[in-house]
Amino acid sequence: MTPFEYLKQNESKRFQDLFSLLRFPTVSAKSEHKEDIIACAEWLKLHLGELGFKATLYPTKGHPIVYAEYIVDKKLPTVLYYGHYDVQPPEPLDLWKTPPFEPQIKDGYILARGACDDKGQFFAQIKGLEAVIKTSGTLPVNVKFLIEGEEESHSANLPVFIKKNKKLLRAEVVVVSDTAQFNKELPAVTFGLRGIAFVEVFVYGPNKDLHSGGFGGAVGNPINILCTMVGKLHDKDGKIAIPGFYKDCKPISRWVKNQLKKLPYNETNFKKAIGIPALHGEKGYTTYEKLTSRPTCDANGITGGYQGEGGKTIIPAMASCKITMRLVPDMNPHDICDKIEKYLMKIAPKTVRVKVNKHGGARAVEVPVDGPWLEAAGRAIKAGFGKEPVFIKEGGSIPIAVEFKETLGIDTLFIGFGQNDDNIHSPNERFRVVDFENGCKTAAVLPFELARVDK
């Protein structure tokens, strides 16, 4: 039997297994899910163990890391697969057409939180390898899996693990399936991701909520003030107004500009799909450049005052806002956090007290677009999806990606199986059944192609 035949024959079990994985509500941001996360990690350990992997859970200060290896022969190349089994919070729940942790298939889509980001994607890699193991009794390369439970919470504990376990993680190449294809017709290899920096700003006014009639007019309102401050993060041309923000921001190279221009990017479709009346952003850049290769500064959530039913006439005691900034090479997240803090403190009026919690972040990543590993990946994608991949950049971040190069010295192949309209981080997350299937096929061919590369 060939691996493809195995995949076909075991289709229903393969989906059952994926559904088991998707049923764990592994929301890393919420402490109430700690036990669910441990249960999911245990399940993965067991599942990989059944395939012949030596699997271990490494506890961290946060959620456990699943590590598993299938070592065939020290002389063969070693491939390190990375993925994350944690997911973003599913809220707002009332917008889900099916419950987020009750996976099902509808109209050619697998529906569940984590279906695409990232359970469905790394599981396609596992299932492709399973097909090879079950049909040939072995693998053509050594395989290591590193599946973390904190990616959606900034991978706080993974860098330490990687630094402590360089030998354990030694490999020739890293494979990550946690990105998207260019579109439904064009599979892709991603050569650049943005970095991220995260702060939370708190604005404190009076020592308690006050009657807005009795006090309004003479007391600074933390919500009004916070909104003004957030409004000052950009200038009228869409540039970020934080002093020094662009200091280390590398301009988009001519090569990247040309590469992006080659892709059939459709602004009208983009606008339509997300339902915005007009496009937005920094002057002088195309939409695709803005989405992938320019830095941003966005409020992600703002709160304060009364939000319950009916009205309440108050001057609130405080307001706060979570802000993330997407970074491009060579911006440094700590430096950017310092700069936004300084700026927010400077523009805050004397009528309130302001505090900024700086959470750091991760730098942007760029990987080579040539070399034998990439060619091998291209051949595997061709075998799985029936088409040569294009090279793309993406705007999202995978915080740990830089560590693979900097700590372990290994280049990463970002082979994403998702689509930009899979609703990751949104209600009704989904993953196309064909993308999962072609992903499994790609994954079954990839180790053979990587084994052919001699370095």
- Per-residue binding letters, 96-135, with ligand BES (x by CB under 6 A): ---------------------xx-----------------
At its nearest, how many Å lie between ligand BES and the CB of residue 76? Answer: 29
Helix (H, G, I), strand (E, B) or coil at 192: strand
Backbone angles phi, psi at 443, to 5 degrees: -65, -30
Burial of residue 273, with CB atoms counted within 10 A of its CB: 0-12 exposed, 13-18 middle, 19 or more buried: exposed
Q: Does residue number 363 form part of the binding site for ligand BES (CB under 6 A)?
A: no
Residue with tokens 């990550």: 176
User: Which residue's CB is nearer to ligand BES, number 83 or number 384?
Assistant: 83
Tokens of 407: 């700590």
Least Cα distance to 400 among 147, 198, 184, 222 occurs for 147
| Among 154, 294, 339, 393, contact with ligand BES (rule: CB under 6 A) | 154
Q: Does residue number 394 form part of the binding site for ligand BES (CB under 6 A)?
A: yes
**CB nearest ligand BES: which residue?**
396
Query: What single DSSP character describes residue 33?
Result: G
At its nearest, how many Å lie between ligand BES and the CB of residue 190? Answer: 7
Stretch that binds ligand BES, among 147-155, 222-230, 256-264, 441-449 (CB under 6 A): 147-155
User: Which residue's CB is nearer to ligand BES, number 6 or number 198?
Assistant: 198
At its nearest, how many Å lie between Mn ion and the CB of residue 403? Answer: 16
| Among 125, 157, 179, 412, contact with ligand BES (rule: CB under 6 A) | 179
Within 10 angstroms of residue 151's Cβ, the number of other Cβ atoms is: 25
User: Which residue's CB is nearer to ligand BES, number 227 or number 263?
Assistant: 263
Tokens of 315: 């001057």
CA angle 10, 12, 13 (to 5 degrees): 65
197 contacts which partner out of Mn ion, ligand BES, none, CB within 5 to 8 A by kind?
none
User: Which residue's CB is nearer to ligand BES, number 6 or number 391?
Assistant: 391
What contacts 253, CB < 8 A, 6 or more positions away? none
Least Cα distance to 380 among 4, 1, 113 occurs for 4
User: Which residue's CB is nearer to Mn ion, number 178 or number 403?
Assistant: 178
Stretch that binds ligand BES, among 53-61, 133-141, 258-266, 390-398 (CB under 6 A): 390-398
Identify residues 195-234 at the interface with ligand BES (CB under 6 A). Answer: 196
| Pairwise CA distance, residues 345 & 119, whole Å | 41
What contacts 126, CB < 8 A, 6 or more positions away? 47, 48, 51, 145, 443
Which residue ranges make up the site for ligand BES (CB under 6 A)?
A: 117-118, 151-152, 154, 178-180, 193, 196, 394, 396-399
